[in-house]
Amino acid sequence: MEKKVDELKEKYKKTVAELYLDKRIDYSPETDYIFVRGLHSFGGYYEGTLRKGIIKDADDTLTVGSTLTEKWIDGLSEIKKSVRRIREELLNYLSKIPFLDPILDNLFIKQTIETVGKKLVECKLHYKEHKEASAYAAREIRLTPYSNDLVRELERMGYVVSLNSGSPQECVELLGQRLNIPRKGIGWFGVYQRIFGSIYKFENGYFTGEIKPGLDFNKVIAMKNFLTNIKCPPSLSIFVSDDPKLDKSPASMAGLTVWTINRSLLHKLLGYKFPGEIKITCPDAKKDMNVLLNYIKRWDLLNIVVYLRTPEAEENLYNLTKNFKKTTENGLEAKENFQIYKNEFLGLAHQLLLLVEPVITERSLNVFEPLRELESSDDIERDKSLMKDIFSRFSYRIPEIQAPEKFGKELNSIVEEKQLIRDLDWWLP
């Protein structure tokens, strides 16, 4: 029975996710309250609750135009003539790696990294120069607009951000400093790493040629360690990447996977069953991190909704919004019997207010004044204008109003299955 309940809950969450994470549906995911669900908080951070984890790629997601490695090589070229002479050659080698399959092309990747290592050894690269170039890369790399705002807001929302990259570890750590992301954190089981990059080995101050790629460690194990230390279940974690070939495994264990490449490229690389329990494509995040932030807020709201609303309550809300939409359309077109539609509109609006509480409040809907004016008005044209305005305000806060019929059918199927489950079993964690 427990397995059946968990499977149905997962089905319900995925169904609601298809609506709440649909980029074609424009609505505000802001909440008036912070909600506590078990040991975690959503819609903000409630003091004393556990934090949630987000694992994010640095290169080509947070950065624009260049990778940290490319900027690092630029920095070395400024310092050493020997690196400047082979700059293009090094960049050519390194530019191939992101497009290779980590399993099928593993030997070629290792050979390429070894070649880069040998060439840098020939340049007699010193650790001081490496650090200087790393600082240059972290300082000069162009960030995606609003990256700093994203990290700040995620912290406010109760997320711990982890960065990973194939670029040198020092570059990624210094980029972390720029974004106020510490290198390590203190978790429930000791100190844990928050920033992962490639390790360039030095002895007696000089580079040995050995490069341990940041992607050489088992990402799934690293992700598990990170989430374990902050006590975040994988189902509440977020994984952000633009490399589906490399990141298939960690993406499969995250609660939400955000691919920052377009869907057609994703399908070309992996077919139509690309990884991620619940996943979205968000290429626009590479232009504006506020786009990504909006989806993370939607994710938070989704977790609130599926926790507070049973499938029956969600189905009632969906059906009510369809009636509300139809009544609005009829009222705006009516020449006769307008008062009937107006009264019905007012009744449905008040029912909606009751159903969406406490997830969405009357305060955030901001419909109290227009509803009061509509109730007392006897000017039909003014009434229609008020109805249109009120409907627009509801629509911008309640995504169910814009839901397709498919959503209602899937909900109905879940409600029918749930009839075989006791209410007590549904609410048990």
**Chain segment 376-405, per-residue pLDDT in tens:** 999 999 999 999 999 999 999 999 999 999
The number of domains in the chain is 2
Residues 12 and 65 in one domain: no
The band of 222, judged by pLDDT with boundaries at 50, 70 and 90, is confident
Higher pLDDT, 360 or 427: 360
Residues 296 and 325 in one domain: no
Does residue 230 belong to any structural domain of this protein? no
Beta-bridge partner residues of 164: 57, 196
pLDDT at 428: 67
φ/ψ bin of 202: left (φ > 0), alpha (ψ from -120 to 50), beta (otherwise)? beta
Lowest-pLDDT range of 50-59, 264-273, 338-347: 264-273
Residues 239 and 361 in one domain: no
Residues 155 and 292 in one domain: yes
Q: Tell me how far apart the alpha carbons of residues 202 and 193 are, in angstroms, rounded to a whole number.
A: 21
Residues 291 and 337 in one domain: no
Q: What is the mean pLDDT of the chain?
A: 90
Residues 302/17, Cβ–Cβ less than 8 Å = yes
φ/ψ bin of 17: left (φ > 0), alpha (ψ from -120 to 50), beta (otherwise)? alpha
pLDDT at 265: 67
Q: What CATH number is given to the structural domain containing 293? A: 3.40.50.1000
Does residue 46 belong to any structural domain of this protein? no
The band of 216, judged by pLDDT with boundaries at 50, 70 and 90, is very low
Residues 107 and 241 in one domain: yes
pLDDT at 144: 94
Q: Is the pLDDT of residue 116 over 80?
A: yes
Residues 244 and 137 in one domain: yes
pLDDT at 168: 93
pLDDT at 79: 92
Residue-range definition of the domain harbouring residue 96 = 52-221+235-308
Lowest-pLDDT range of 234-243, 293-302, 324-333, 349-358: 234-243
Residues 333 and 413 in one domain: yes
Domain boundary residue among 308, 324, 351?
308
User: How do residues 420-429 score in pLDDT, each as one tens digit?
Assistant: 887 767 776 6
Residues 200 and 286 in one domain: yes
Residues 298 and 410 in one domain: no
Residues 14 and 84 in one domain: no
Q: Is the pLDDT of residue 371 over 60?
A: yes
Does residue 38 belong to any structural domain of this protein? no
Higher pLDDT, 2 or 236: 236
Q: What is the mean pLDDT of residues 151-165?
A: 94
Q: What is the mean pLDDT of residues 39-64?
A: 92
User: How do residues 285-342 score in pLDDT, each as one tens digit?
Assistant: 989 999 999 999 999 999 999 999 999 999 999 999 999 999 999 999 998 899 999 9
